[in-house]
Structure 1
Amino acid sequence: MKIFSAEQIRAWDAFTIKEEPITGIDLMERAAGACSDWIRKNIATSRKIMVLCGPGNNGGDGLAIARLLHKAKFKVSVYLVESTNSSEAFGVNLRRLKTLKVDVVTLHVAADFPTVSKNTVLIDALFGTGVNRPLKNLAAQLIHFINKQNATVISIDMPSGLPADNCVDDGAIVKATHTLSFETYKLTFLLPQNAVYTGSIHLLSIGLSKKYYENTSAAFIKTDEQLVSRIYKPRNQFAHKYTFGHALLYAGSKNMMGAAVLCSKACIRSGAGLVTIHVEPDCEAIIHISLPEAITSSEKDASKTWIKKSAIAIGPGLEKSDGNTQLLNKLLGEWQGPLVVDATALSLLNPLLTKLPLRKTTDLIITPHTGEFEQLFGKTVSDLERLQLAIQKAHSLGCYIILKGHYTFIACPEEPHNFNTTGNAGMATAGTGDTLTGIICGLLSQGYAARDAAILGVYLHGLAGDIAADKISQEALIASDLIDNIGAAFLEISKKKHQ
């Protein structure tokens, strides 16, 4: 799913109006119809509806929704923010509403704000994607009033005061219970700082032009089933284990062999034909007992270990040592195949960053969480600034940066960049990052391109977590549960591909 900017969304509306053709007011009616249909399905007619409208097109949406809900037997009242400059569509819908027996009140000062009972539903139709600066005066006062109420709040298109392409720390912004938006996500919906404002997001189709969508490029994409189905490659039934590559993992140490076990199991479960784990000699038995399908190596000559390997991952459970720093330096300088750098190896990477753009290929993937990212590239003041820095570094260093989080972000050397859609809070537990590294390395070893391995790997990892959480709860979920459900995740992806 493409994620368009506010400017692109306005152009999409305009293109649809011209191409279909349809009048702007009729397109607004279509949007209002989609919103009122959702409200009728999810809100009881016994509940009181208060629609709060600004003077622009978002307010016009609200007026049309009020009219449709009134006709659907809801008890509706409408409150308008006083303005001397309203949009044409607002005026049309206000005139239409006034032909019905609906209470319409203009708010001049804060003393005019209505009394809100706990059974009331507030529909926020104050301001949409056109907001690009903090709201002030009466509008800001009204938003603070909304946020103090013990009521369900439904924002139309956007929570009022929230910019479509940015994140904010404070100010006058509606804290919605539900946001009813149209066609595709806005960037702002995917930034963690904004989650407090958006509530549950529901995308409604209003028939915007498919031609515009298909022919317009976007800087960001939200990974969905369609994209994953295109990436996923079913197995050739005449294949053998060498068809699916040989992954090499530098993982584990005396006190952290669990990370090596998790990473290795995930790598095998992701489909790698063979997996070798390089560990110290006295740690090999742990691998043999835990994972009889794996191979171990304690070869000290790295170049020999790399022979006939398809992809390498380094980091999970490693000690922070001079020897491992030298190993990472050698990998970055001499190994020209696919490489995943995670965990301890990320803490060793900073002085070696100049090596990255010298690599002949862009099949290097690094997988930091927020803390590791900032240790590598510096502090950031907002989620958006962190994304922008990740994009800049992915481009300048020629690598893929998987910035782990709720909507894990994949910054690529070239656009588009991806937000992942799978996963849950139960995955915020030790070892899940090690499983992700194993999955991605396993996909790389099978011949997936770095971009595809990153996108599919993160999606598969999150989907396995979702399947596990459905079975045992988010609270009880541990990293091993992800590995146990990788197969179920593959089955779900495979079924979608063949539908």
Structure 2
Amino acid sequence: MKILTAAQTREADAYTIAHEPISSIDLMERAAGALVQWIEKEYGPEQPWYIFCGPGNNGGDGLAVARLLFQRAYDVQVVLVTEGQNHSPDFQQNLNRLPTEIPVTRTASPDDLPSLLSYAMVLDGLFGSGLSRPLVGLHAQAVQHINNSAATVIAIDLPSGLFADAPTPTDSAVVEADVTLSFERPKLAFLLPESGSFVGKWHVLPIGLHPDFLNKADSPYSLLTPERLKEVLKPRLKFTHKGTYGNALLVGGSYGKIGAITLAAKAALRAGVGLLTVQTPMVGYSILQVAVPEAMALSDAHEQHITAFPEEVNQYQCIGIGPGLGQAADTALALEKLFRQALPPLVLDADALNLLALDRQLLRNLPANSILTPHPKEFERLASPAKHDYHRLQLLKDFCQEHECYVVLKGYHTCIGTPTGECYFNTTGNPGMATGGTGDTLTGILAGLRAQGFSPLDTCLVGVYLHGLAGDLAAEQEGEYALIASDVTQYLGKAFQQLLQ
């Protein structure tokens, strides 16, 4: 699913109006109907609803919702924060349509704003995605009034004051929504940490924007959907064997960190790889043989860390390097020597990434189409510090294009950067996965999939989605607080089953 800019969304509206054809006021009515349908499913008419409306089309949406909720016997009050401003034509038309029985508060000062009780519902229709400057004056004071209340806040399309696809100034007044109901597509701001915190839970409401425009719209950003992944992940055929599904090598572990490579190994096997070999220092050999009997174990000559890679690396369809690896000097030399060879596909994580960051020449020799899986701090070491989330996205695109690699930038909405400049945001996963070892399980999943012959892009898309989905299934049973990395691996099978349904 492509993620559109605010400008493209306005163009989609205009295209729909011209080519469906439909009048703008009827398209607004359709959007309001979608909002009301969602509200009716989630909330009954027991609580009072305060619908805050600004002077533009976002306020027009709010007025239309007020009318439709009133018709359904909801307790509705309208709060107009439009003093001294021109109303959009559709706003004015919906204001004219408002039943006289609905109480309307016209605010000229903060003293006019109604008290909001804790059990009240607030629908934020002050400003939408067209906003390009911070809110000031009465609008900012209205936002602060909403935020200071304990009411449940639902934002129409976008929390007021938040920019849709640009950094919002840090001192701006922004509605802190509990829920955001976005029309047709999510906004880029929903998916980034700094702005996403204002959005709360978000839902996409289809409103029938013209599919021709949506299909042709050009955007570097997409949202992962199960439909896209089901085209890639197919049921296994009957007449296959372990050699059909690839031979992977995982390299990692050091004294005190054998658990990391063990977690990666178990996840690689659960991801369906046919054969798996795991190389650890001598201290990890017995641990691997007992903990992961399905894998073959190789022992480095050194007791506590890796000093050399296997001679015949081309027998493997993928090499995953990094979990628990450590940053010993001879480990760095071994990685440098490895990069001088013709290599199978690579998946690099953890200390493998830190070694790349310490040696820029090593980074310049990174084999094309490698998959890197940094968390934000590791990516900062590889690229450079980001001024804000949007700058980090640009750094991600630049880095992937410069090094011809795929970067899985981990986070709540993990972002997959590609050499072509496209970025894919994940939709699975939960805060319970913010625990040690879940990144190691992701490395194992990606190495296991890549060894099976999936393209680097499909490996990233399927692997990241499955990893998060397994975490979600685990959280349903264990809860987010109690979730551990082994749970993610345990629920991978159910994640595969759900995606293949």
Aligned match of 1:327: 334
Which of residues 369, 379, 385 in structure 2 aligns to 1:363?
369
For residues 458 and 438 of structure 2, the distance between their equivalents in structure 1, rounded to whole angstroms, comes to 20
User: 1:106-164: CA deviations, max 9, x gaps?
Assistant: 21122221222333222111100001111111111111111111211111111100011
Structure 1 length normalisation: TM-score? 0.95
Q: Which secondary structure does the structure 2 equivalent of 1:193 belong to?
A: helix
Q: Which secondary structure does the structure 2 equivalent of 1:471 belong to?
A: helix
User: 1:290-344: CA deviations, max 9, x gaps?
Assistant: 1111112236764624031110011111121122111222233324321011111
Aligned match of 1:277: 278
Aligned AA for 1:89? D
Aligned match of 2:26: 26
The answer to whether the Cα contact below 8 Å between 1:52 and 1:125 also exists between their aligned partners in 2 is: yes
The answer to whether the Cα contact below 8 Å between 1:357 and 1:398 also exists between their aligned partners in 2 is: no
For residues 133 and 373 of structure 2, the distance between their equivalents in structure 1, rounded to whole angstroms, comes to 34
For residues 258 and 422 of structure 2, the distance between their equivalents in structure 1, rounded to whole angstroms, comes to 37
For residues 38 and 63 of structure 2, the distance between their equivalents in structure 1, rounded to whole angstroms, comes to 16
Identify if the C-alpha distance between structure 1 residues 401 and 380 changes in structure 2 by more than 3 Å, giving closer, same or farther.
same
Deviates more, 1:229-238 or 1:389-398: 229-238
The answer to whether the Cα contact below 8 Å between 1:220 and 1:415 also exists between their aligned partners in 2 is: no
Trace 1:197-236 onto structure 2 (pairs within 5 A).
197-236=198-237
For residues 286 and 358 of structure 1, the distance between their equivalents in structure 2, rounded to whole angstroms, comes to 33
Aligned AA for 2:252? A
Aligned match of 1:463: 469
Q: State whether structure 2 residue 245 is matched by structure 1 residue 244.
A: yes
The answer to whether the Cα contact below 8 Å between 1:167 and 1:191 also exists between their aligned partners in 2 is: no
Q: Alpha-carbon deviation of 1:230? A: 1.4
Aligned AA for 1:175? E
Q: Alpha-carbon deviation of 1:194? A: 2.2
Q: Which runs of 5+ in 1 are unaligned?
A: none
For residues 120 and 358 of structure 2, the distance between their equivalents in structure 1, rounded to whole angstroms, comes to 58
Q: Which secondary structure does the structure 1 equivalent of 2:249 belong to?
A: strand
Aligned match of 1:255: 256
The answer to whether the Cα contact below 8 Å between 2:282 and 2:299 also exists between their aligned partners in 1 is: yes
Structure 2 length normalisation: TM-score? 0.95
For residues 419 and 241 of structure 2, the distance between their equivalents in structure 1, rounded to whole angstroms, comes to 33
Aligned AA for 1:340? V
For residues 46 and 332 of structure 2, the distance between their equivalents in structure 1, rounded to whole angstroms, comes to 67
Q: State whether structure 2 residue 307 is matched by structure 1 residue 307.
A: no
Identify if the C-alpha distance between structure 1 residues 230 and 161 changes in structure 2 by more than 3 Å, giving closer, same or farther.
same
Aligned match of 1:410: 416
RMSD of Structure 2 on Structure 1 (CA) = 1.7
For residues 188 and 447 of structure 1, the distance between their equivalents in structure 2, rounded to whole angstroms, comes to 34
For residues 103 and 444 of structure 1, the distance between their equivalents in structure 2, rounded to whole angstroms, comes to 61
Aligned match of 1:399: 405
Aligned match of 1:130: 130
Aligned match of 1:7: 7
Q: Alpha-carbon deviation of 1:261? A: 0.9
Identify if the C-alpha distance between structure 1 residues 147 and 228 changes in structure 2 by more than 3 Å, giving closer, same or farther.
same
Q: Which secondary structure does the structure 2 equivalent of 1:12 belong to?
A: helix
For residues 357 and 259 of structure 1, the distance between their equivalents in structure 2, rounded to whole angstroms, comes to 27
Aligned match of 1:390: 396
Which of residues 342, 347, 352 in structure 2 aligns to 1:345?
352
For residues 468 and 406 of structure 2, the distance between their equivalents in structure 1, rounded to whole angstroms, comes to 18
Q: Which secondary structure does the structure 1 equivalent of 2:315 belong to?
A: coil
Number of aligned pairs?
A: 493
Aligned match of 1:488: 494
The answer to whether the Cα contact below 8 Å between 2:408 and 2:416 also exists between their aligned partners in 1 is: yes
What percent identity do the matched residue pairs reach? 44
The answer to whether the Cα contact below 8 Å between 1:316 and 1:344 also exists between their aligned partners in 2 is: yes
The answer to whether the Cα contact below 8 Å between 1:55 and 1:83 also exists between their aligned partners in 2 is: no
Q: Alpha-carbon deviation of 1:356? A: 4.8
Aligned AA for 1:338? P
